[in-house]
Amino acid sequence: MEVISVVADKIRCLEIKGARNAAVEAVKALQEFAQQSRAEDKTKFLEELTQAQQLLFNSRETEPLLRNAVYYLIGQIRQSSIKNVSELCTLLNMRATHFLGELDVSRNCAAEIGAKCIQNGMTIFTHCHSSTAILMLLKAKQDGKNFKVICTETRPALQGRLTACEMAENSIDTTFIVDSASRAFISKADFIIVGADAITPKGNVVNKIGTSGLAVLAYDAHKPFYVVSELLKFDTTTHYNEFENVEQRNPADVWKDAPQKIAVQNPAFDVTPCRYITNIICEKGVISPQKIFEITHQFYSWLFT
């Protein structure tokens, strides 16, 4: 179980950041874990996988892509008629490789579709560090578009610095601001783009803390607010209109050695209601958040079984 614990710890302590990276590393860890398994029969193998699943799920509460990936792979083993453990390992390995390939295709498609929304001379406002939003901006740059990017710092873990550096390294005109300067800068943007950790059946989006405030600012400033995300971040557990459990991170990340009487809070994410989201850019196109349930159901029916 060591390979799983190591990856779960890296996800928990943010050495592995972002929804997609967490899911990809979890899948790779499961592949390695299966190769190392000494289980004598299918029942034992499934028990081990279920234990691994729990460790991975506990590493991040607010990550449906990771959950969907792990459920998918373990489901493939459970449903298979194969009994031999070594053949089951090969099956898991094959399915995992296929899943990661499909995830790459989805992200590329979403990024390419998003890149088409960027025109020469535009200014794009982004928050935190989404590998999907970054890919979209880089594709627009590769397409020869000249545009500017405004990045928020994204306290307390400062992921915005990663985004700003990636933009600048790719010769994109980059402005970096503290989160509290967002209102002063949002009026300069043509649109706002963020990634997603989770999309609920209603089309609400869970993303880095501060995202929902930006969406309200964008709404007030009449600026389009886009989310770019693979549909597999769809969260079936919020089917009954409940929101995802929001992961609470270490208060010391916000204020190390704060006076004891002060209750420092550090929620990692917030929920942006669909009414503030102009569209969700995904592998199937630019979709209104209200349509997300229908589209996800159409293309990923296995999520609902």
Active site residues: 128, 197
Among positions 85, 268, 277, 280, the unique one binding ligand RUB when judged by CB under 6 A: 268
Do the Cβ atoms of 110 and 132 come closer than 8 Å? yes
Q: Which CB sits closer to ligand RUB, 131 or 272?
A: 131
State the burial class of residue 116 (Cβ atoms within 10 Å of its Cβ: 0-12, 13-18, 19+): middle
Q: Which CB sits closer to ligand RUB, 31 or 131?
A: 131
Q: Tell me the C-alpha distance between 49 and 20, whole Å.
A: 21
Strands 198-199 and 173-177: unpaired
> C-beta of 8: minimal distance to ligand RUB in Å?
14
Do the Cβ atoms of 201 and 240 come closer than 8 Å? no
Q: What string marks each residue from 197 to 226 as x (binds ligand RUB by CB under 6 A) or -? A: x---------xx------------------
Q: Which CB sits closer to ligand RUB, 196 or 271?
A: 196
Comparing C-alpha atoms, which of 47, 48, 100 is closest to residue 72?
Answer: 100
Q: What is the sign of the dihedral through the CA atoms of 38, 43, 44 and 45? A: positive
Do the Cβ atoms of 64 and 233 come closer than 8 Å? yes
Stretch that binds ligand RUB, among 1-9, 17-25, 178-186, 296-304 (CB under 6 A): 17-25
Q: What string marks each residue from 96 to 125 as x (binds ligand RUB by CB under 6 A) or -? A: ------------------------------
H or E, element range at 123: strand 123-126
Q: Is 130 in the site for ligand RUB (CB under 6 A)?
A: yes
Read off the tokens for 251. 């208060």
> C-beta of 219: minimal distance to ligand RUB in Å?
19
Helices (H), 193-273: 211-220
Q: Which of residues 19-58 bind ligand RUB (CB under 6 A)?
A: 19-21
Q: Which residues contact 94 (CB under 8 A, 6 or more apart)?
A: none
Q: Tell me the C-alpha distance between 202 and 207, whole Å.
A: 15
Q: Which CB sits closer to ligand RUB, 85 or 103?
A: 103
Chain position whose Cβ is nearest to ligand RUB: 195
Among positions 128, 172, 186, 227, the unique one binding ligand RUB when judged by CB under 6 A: 128
Q: Which CB sits closer to ligand RUB, 18 or 289?
A: 18
CB atoms within 10 A of CB 188: 13
Q: Is 271 in the site for ligand RUB (CB under 6 A)?
A: no
- Binding-site ranges for ligand RUB (CB under 6 A): 17-21, 128-132, 157, 159, 195-197, 207-208, 268
